[in-house]
Chain A
C-alpha cells in the first residue's frame, strides 16, 4: 500500500511530493482525548449513580404533567367515543394515523443505527446506539396508542390478534391492517430483545459497582449473572450479529407494511408503488432528526463530548442530508408519475396538495424536509451544534406534516365532490398528541436515570487500545497520525 503510494508520488503532479499525503488515511478517533477504560466506565456509570441533577427533576415533572394529557385524552375518548377526535366524513383517518406513522417512523432510526450500521461496520454507531434503541421502543409505544384507541372499543383490541374468541371469528389476513399488527408487534418485541441483550454486560458493570442494596438487587437481577467470560462473549457476539441481521429486513418491512395501509387502497394520492421505499427513507430521515434532538442536549448536559464527538454529529447530519434528498426526490417523482400516468384523479390529487386548501401544509413540508437539510452540505453548519439542533427540529416538524399531507389531503378531496370537507383537529386530538410527547419524554428520562445511556463495553471495544495487536509504542511513533487525530481530522 505504502509502496504504491510512493510510486504515485513520482508519477503524479509535482505538488504531491511537497504535500506528501499519507498512504493510509487515519481513522477519526471515536473517543477523544485518549480516554482509558476506567474513565469510560466512570463517565457512563456516574450518570446513573450520582444524584439526579436539578434539570432532570424539572424536565421529569414537566414531562409527567404533559403525559397526563394523554391519560385524560384517552379517558375522554373511551368514555365518549371516537367522535371526540376530529374524525368525520370524508376523513376517518386524521391526526391519529398521522401521529401513528410519525412515531413509528421515528423509531426506525434506532434500529437502523443498531442493526444496519452494525452490519456495515460503522463503528461510530456505538456511542449513540443505546439511546436510539430506547428511543425506538418508546416511540413504538406512543405509536401503538393511536390505532389501538382508534378501533373504538379498545377493550376488544385483542381481536386484532389471532386469538380464539366466542364468535369463532378469525382476523382477515388479506388486510394490510392485519399485516401491520404483525409487523408492529414483531418490531416492538425484537427491538426490546435487541436492546436488552445489548445492555446485559453493561448492567453487569453497574451491578459490580453497586453499593446500595436495592441497586445490587435491581441490576443483579437484570444482569442475569453475566460475568464477562470470553466463552460467553463468543455466543453473545454471534447472537448480537444475528439479531442485527434479522432486524435489518424487519425494519425495512415495518414501514413498507405501514405504507401498504395506504398503497393497497384505491384513494388517489395513496395508490402508488413508490410508497414503500419513500416511507422507509422518510422514516430514517425523521428518526435521525429525533436522535439528534435527544442526543445533543444530553451531550451538553452530561458533558459527553469525548464520547459523542463532532464526528458522530457529522455522520448523522450527512445521513439526514442523504435521506432528506431521497424524500425530496420522492416528492418530485410522485408529481411526475401523477402527470405521466395520465390519470386525471391522480393528477388532481397532486395539484390539489400543492395549491389546494392544504397548500400551507404542503409548503411547510417541502421547506422543512427538502430545503432545511440542504444546509448540511456545509461543514460550518454541521459544526454549529445550535444550528444543527434547530434544523433537526424543523425536520421533526416537517415529517409530521408529510404524513398530514399524505393522509388528510387525499381523503378531504376524494371521488365525491359533494362530500368534500376540511379536516380540523379537535381539542382532544391535540391533547392526546401532545400527551404522547410527554409520555415519551417521561420514559426517556427514566431510561437516562436508571439504565446505562451509552454502551460501556462497546465503546471500550472501539478504542485503539482494545485491539489485542495494539502496541502503545507504535501508536505514539507516528506524529502525522497523532496530529490528525488531535485535529479531529477532516477527510
Chain B
C-alpha cells in the first residue's frame, strides 16, 4: 500500500497539556511554517499565541465592509432623493448628510457584518468539502472532548521519528499517521 502520508496526529488529555505542548513545539522551531495545527472542541484562549499564530485579519475585511456600506448609504440617498428624483419637502435642501443618516448608519452596520461573516469564512478557507484530518477515525472526537495536534508531512521540520519523539516527550498519546 503506497498511501501518501498527510501528517502525524496525536492526542492530549486536556487543554492544559495541549497548551504546554504547543509552546514546546513553537520553541522547537515549528512556528516557522503553518503546516501544523491544533484542534480543540472549543477555543482555548492563549493557545494561538502558544502556537505563534498572529492576530486575525478579519478586522480589515470588516473595515472595508464598513467603508463600502457607509459610501453606499451616502450614494443611494443622494442619487435617489437629491439627484434622480429631487422632491421639495418643506422647502428644505434636496439632500444633506443629516436627514438620511439612519440609512447610512444601518448600511454601515449591514456591510460591516457581511465583512465579519464572510471574512471569517474567507480567512479560514471555508466552506471546504473535505480535509485530510477527517481521514483519521479518531478525529470525530475533536468536536467532543479530544485535543489533537497535527504536524503535516509537508512541514520543513517533519521527520517521522524526531517529530514522534517530540510528541512523546510532551505527553501526547494515541500517536498515529494520517493518510492523505
Residues of A within 8 A of B (CB): 36-38, 41, 162, 168-174, 176, 178-179, 182-183, 186, 189-190, 193-194, 197, 201, 204-205, 207-209, 224-239, 242-243, 246-247, 249-250, 253, 257, 260, 456-458, 460-461, 465-471
A182-B102 in contact (CB<8A)? yes
**Shortest distance in angstroms between A47's beta carbon and chain B's nearest beta carbon?**
16
Q: Are A239 and B116 interface neighbours, CB within 8 A?
A: yes
The listed residue (B41, B87, B123) touching A228 by CB distance below 8 A is B41
The 8 closest A-B CB pairs, nearest first, are: A468-B19, A170-B80, A239-B120, A225-B128, A37-B145, A224-B127, A238-B56, A208-B140
Bound-state CA distance A182–B14 (Å) is 47
A229 touching B42 by the CB < 8 A rule? no
Given A174-B81, A183-B102, A467-B15: A239 and B144 interface contact (C-beta under 8 Å): no
Q: Do B134 and A227 have beta carbons less than 8 Å apart?
A: yes
What separation, in Å, do the CA atoms of A461 and B43 have in the docked complex?
7
**Total B residues in contact with A, Cβ cutoff 8 Å:** 69
Scan B27-39; emit 1 where CB is below 8 A from any A CB, else 0. 0000000100111
Using CB atoms, name the residue of chain A closest to B102. A179
* Contacting residues of chain B (72-88) with chain A, CB-CB under 8 angstroms: 76-77, 80-81, 84-85, 87
Taking CB atoms, residues of chain A closer than 8 Å to B112 are: 242, 246
By the criterion CB–CB under 8 Å, are A173 and B58 in contact?
A: no
Known contacts A38-B144, A225-B129; is-contact A230 B80 (Cβ 8 Å): no
Q: Which residues on the B side are within 8 Å of A237 (C-beta)? A: 43, 56
B107 touches which of A182, A225, A238, A246 (Cβ 8 Å) = A182
How far apart sit A225 and B129, CA to CA, in the bound complex (Å)?
Answer: 6
The number of A-B residue pairs with CB atoms under 8 Å apart is 205
Interface majority SS (helix, strand, loop, mixed), chain A: helix
**Cα A470 to Cα B43 with chains together (Å):** 15
Q: Which residues of A contact B110 (CB under 8 A)?
A: 186, 189-190
Known: A193-B117, A224-B127, A230-B40. A182 touches B106 (CB 8 A): yes
Interface residues of B in 126-161 (CB under 8 A from A): 126-131, 133-134, 139-145
B102 touches A466 (CB 8 A): no
Contact present for A183 and B48 (CB under 8 Å): no
Q: A41-B41, A193-B113 are in contact. List 16 more A-B contacts (CB 8 A).
A: A174-B99, A182-B102, A186-B106, A186-B107, A189-B110, A208-B142, A230-B39, A231-B53, A231-B124, A233-B43, A235-B123, A236-B124, A239-B116, A468-B18, A468-B45, A470-B16
Whether the Cβ atoms of B80 and A171 lie closer than 8 Å is yes
For the complex formed, measure the closest distance between the CB of A467 and the CB atoms of chain B, giving whole angstroms. Answer: 7
* Cβ-defined contact, A238 with B53, below 8 A: no
